[in-house]
Amino acid sequence: MPGTAPGNNVGGILPAGLAWHLTRPVRALRRATRQLADGDLSVRVPVNDRGSGSEVADLSREFNRMADQIEHLITSRRQLNRDISHELRSPLARLHVALGLARRDASSTASAALDRIEREADRLNDMIGELLTLNRLESNEDLVTEELDLAKLLEDVVHDADFEAASCERTVT
């Protein structure tokens, strides 16, 4: 066939191969960006320093710098949340002990107030547990699921609202 010499396809293969080779760092950067967005804080991009003035190499370095900073900030925040949670649990445990001691000598009026204090301490303890659960969620740790008694939750909310309303001489029904 005229015009289809065996070497003519080389003209299309070489530019395609060159384009693939030249865009490889950009594809790696795109992949790393997706991984970072999906929560992989350890992802970094290889930097090709052969062309040290290369825009792609500069962009890769900046990506790695940004990823380092994001990883450090998120890791620090998670550690702070864990530390605060554990530090708050110690005084709550002592509060529960003090409540137990106070109940021994409490009148019926004081006993109701002590019950309220205990519920609030339990609520704080639950919030601390939720903060720790959030940390586990963010770090992709395995979670244990449990059922929630919605009626009990609503009963507690109404009881709390009634307690708050009592200070204004009101009731919640």
Q: Is there a contact between 143 and 124 (Cβ–Cβ < 8 Å)?
A: no
Which pTM value belongs to this model?
0.57
Instruction: Count the residues in the chain.
Output: 173
The pLDDT tens digits of the residues spanning 68-106 come to: 999 999 989 888 988 888 888 888 888 888 888 888 888
Confidence of residue 152 (pLDDT cuts 50, 70, 90): confident
| Structure token pair of residue 119 | 């519920």
Domain boundaries 20-139+149-168, CATH class:
mainly alpha
DSSP per-residue codes, 7-34: GGGHHHHHHHHHHHHHHHHHHHHHHHHH
Catalytic member of 21, 72, 86, 159: 86
The pLDDT tens digits of the residues spanning 31-77 come to: 999 999 988 999 999 987 775 568 888 999 999 999 999 999 998 98
Q: Is there a contact between 78 and 135 (Cβ–Cβ < 8 Å)?
A: yes
pLDDT beyond 70 at 129: yes
Q: Which residues of 52-91 are buried (b: 16+ CB within 10 A; e: fewer)?
A: eeeebbeebeebbeebeeebeeeeeeeeebeeebeeeeee
Tell me, what's the pLDDT at 158?
Answer: 84
Cα separation, 58 vs 24, whole angstroms: 15
Give yes or no: 86 in active site.
yes
Greater model confidence, 14 or 108:
108
Give the mean pLDDT of the chain: 82
